Amino acid sequence: MFPDAGRPAVAEGPQLGCQDGEVALGLERLVVGAARVAHAGIVAATGTLPGLLAPFLTGRLLDSAADASAGYRTAFLVAALVMAAAGALALIAIRPERDARRLGLDAPGRP
């Protein structure tokens, strides 16, 4: 199905606007051998867990607030803080050039 699925690869160019399946497929190409199944499970778990936790936590914040307005304000502030922390972590951790060097490939986006 994927002729180059056995060799690691780094996606070239910006990957903005990709659907989740496309991003996961791109990441799957980086993982070879037996680790691929574990990696797919981790991606699936971390991708669906927020969809299960967010409504529960938002409901708890709304129920514990003095009024609905305060509850929604708190819920949106918590969501903003989580997104800011995840963005900061991504800025620190994601280094395509380093990964390309580690895999012995040319850096993405470079001539």
Helix axes 35-64, 68-93, angle to 10 degrees: 150
- Helix, strand counts (H, E) of the chain: 4, 0
Torsion of CA 48, 51, 52, 57, to 10 degrees: 140
Q: Each residue of 57-101: pLDDT tens digit?
A: 999 999 999 999 999 999 999 999 999 999 999 999 888 787 777
pLDDT at 40: 80
What burial letters (b/e) apply to 88-100, b meaning 16+ CB within 10 Å? eeeeeeeebeeeb
The amino acid that residue 47 corresponds to is G
Which helix (DSSP H) or strand (DSSP E) does residue 38 occupy?
helix 35-64
DSSP classification of residue 106: P
Q: What predicted TM-score, i.e. pTM, was given to this entire model? A: 0.56
Average pLDDT, the chain: 76
